[in-house]
């Protein structure tokens, strides 16, 4: 038995904590990823199933929620990738973790050249967030998610000319030609946890109950050898007591996404670091909680009432598929013309400021949005994990 983050005993029936406790009684101490899955995604009690969300009125601000500028730059990247692919029609863009559809709307608003060919698939696990996508986007039935390609059925394509928006709870079945992108998805996927208990001896962190069954408590059990790949040869050698996440679900999402994509680009934006660096840092720095725009309590506290998020291990998702390229969000946004868009915004404000309409205000707001998105101590330091997928 190791440190014991105290959790209040369930005061009411029907909570993520009770669900976790019931499973522990049935199966014994649970792997951390199972607890995280219930806390975030349990259909009745999970944080994201019961109203947790990104946004000003939500629990945390993401690049997508800073304002429409981020989507305007993504729209430019989509056009560049569409050109590079030979302007396919349909051009399928799949957004993982699409939330309430904020990025999709910003892309639409930016009117990229690829719009007439665009089938935009919003993949979002949370049912309430999928529901909110309908407020501002005209969502087409999922049965048309992946239209036949040109050569297969010309007539269907005519009926289906873009832009079309489709909403799904999980990745579609491929193959598609286009782009799969996601902002802050991988950090929300459940992780397992390892702790080094003696030189060369890694244990897995499991979550059980205290003998009086009133609190959750961590147990350490010898780690299954299948989990140890990620800690093989870490440099520098971690000190006893070091912890690292094992991101099997994130790796699996990348694997599945790359399989869906026959040809195109896979771009995942997130806060990221390396397993070796996690081992050298305190675990509550890379495994964090948020609610109502504040840092939350310990990860095992308040299950279902706060977001649980883990920085992404670049080396772990990078080994899923060769060809990973990594750049900072700031470099990525500059490469696709954020500075030009800011300049354009300044110009619009200069010309229309005296009118003070929405367009003028949007133009002026680009300056502040860019400052936030490029901030080297914040969003600008996020990583863009990027693969180019070519037919096998």
Ligand X SMILES: C[S@@+](CC[C@H](N)C(=O)[O-])C[C@H]1O[C@@H](n2cnc3c(N)ncnc32)[C@H](O)[C@@H]1O
Residues that bind ligand X (CB under 6 A): 48, 54, 62, 64-65, 96-97, 99, 123-126, 129, 170, 183-185, 188-189
**Residue 52: what are its φ and ψ, rounded to 5°?**
-65, 140
In angstroms, what is the minimal distance from the CB of 171 to ligand X?
7
In angstroms, what is the minimal distance from the CB of 189 to ligand X?
6
In angstroms, what is the minimal distance from the CB of 268 to ligand X?
11
Nearer Cβ to ligand X (203/381): 381
Nearer Cβ to ligand X (65/302): 65
Burial 84-114 (b: 16+ CB within 10 A, else e): ebeebbbbbbbbbbbbbbbbbbbbbebebeb
In angstroms, what is the minimal distance from the CB of 330 to ligand X?
17
Residues facing 268 on adjacent strands? 182, 385
Q: Would you call 277 helix, strand, or coil by DSSP?
A: helix
Torsion of CA 69, 375, 353, 55, to 10 degrees: 50
Cα–Cα dist 187/117, whole Å: 31
Cα–Cα dist 35/58, whole Å: 23
Burial class of residue 331 in the structure, from the number of CB atoms within 10 Å of its CB (0-12 exposed, 13-18 middle, 19+ buried): middle
In angstroms, what is the minimal distance from the CB of 40 to ligand X?
7
In angstroms, what is the minimal distance from the CB of 217 to ligand X?
27
Residue with the CB atom nearest ligand X in the bound state: 97
Burial 215-252 (b: 16+ CB within 10 A, else e): bbbbbbeebeeebeebbeebeeebeeebbbbbbbbbbe
In angstroms, what is the minimal distance from the CB of 265 to ligand X?
17
Q: How far is CA 358 from CA 29, 179, 353, 354, in A?
A: 54, 31, 10, 12
The Cα angle at residue 377 between residues 375 and 379, in degrees rounded to 5: 55
Nearer Cβ to ligand X (218/302): 302
């Amino acid at each position: 038995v190791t440190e014991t983050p105290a959790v209040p005993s369930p005061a009411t029936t029907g909570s993520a904590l009770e669900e976790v406790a019931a499973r522990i009684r049935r199966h014994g101490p649970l792997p951390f990823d199972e607890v995280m899955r219930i806390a975030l995604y349990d259909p009745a009690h999970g944080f994201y199933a019961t109203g947790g969300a990104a946004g000003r009125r939500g629990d945390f601000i993401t690049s997508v929620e800073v304002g429409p500028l981020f989507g305007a730059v993504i729209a430019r990247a989509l056009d560049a990738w569409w050109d590079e692919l030979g302007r396919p029609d349909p051009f399928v863009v799949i957004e993982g973790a699409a939330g309430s559809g904020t990025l999709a709307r910003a892309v639409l608003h930016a009117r990229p050249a690829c719009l007439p060919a665009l089938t935009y698939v919003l993949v979002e696990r949370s049912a309430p967030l999928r529901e909110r996508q309908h407020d501002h986007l005209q969502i087409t039935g999922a049965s048309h998610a992946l239209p036949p390609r040109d050569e297969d059925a010309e007539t269907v394509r005519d009926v289906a000319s873009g832009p079309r928006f489709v909403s799904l709870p999980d990745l579609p079945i491929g193959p598609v030609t286009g782009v799969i992108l996601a902002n802050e998805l991988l950090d929300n996927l459940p992780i397992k946890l390892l702790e080094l208990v003696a030189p060369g001896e890694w244990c897995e962190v499991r979550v059980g109950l205290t003998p009086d069954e009133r609190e959750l408590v961590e147990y350490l059990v010898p780690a299954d050898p299948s989990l140890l790949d990620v800690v093989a040869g870490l440099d520098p050698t971690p000190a006893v007591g070091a912890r690292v996440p094992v991101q099997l679900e994130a790796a699996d999402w990348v694997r599945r996404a790359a399989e869906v994509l026959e040809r195109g680009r896979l771009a995942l934006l997130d806060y990221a670091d390396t397993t070796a660096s996690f081992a050298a840092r305190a675990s509550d720095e890379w495994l964090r909680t948020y609610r109502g725009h504040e840092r939350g309590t310990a990860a095992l506290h308040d299950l279902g009432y706060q977001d649980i998020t883990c920085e992404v291990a670049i080396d772990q998702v990078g080994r899923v598929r060769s060809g990973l390229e990594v750049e900072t969000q700031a470099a990525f946004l500059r490469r696709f013309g954020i500075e030009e868009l800011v300049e354009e915004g300044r110009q619009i404000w200069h010309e229309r400021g005296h009118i003070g309409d929405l367009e003028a205000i949007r133009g002026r707001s680009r300056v502040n949005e860019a400052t936030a998105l490029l901030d080297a101590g914040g969003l600008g330091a996020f990583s863009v994990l990027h693969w180019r997928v070519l037919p096998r």
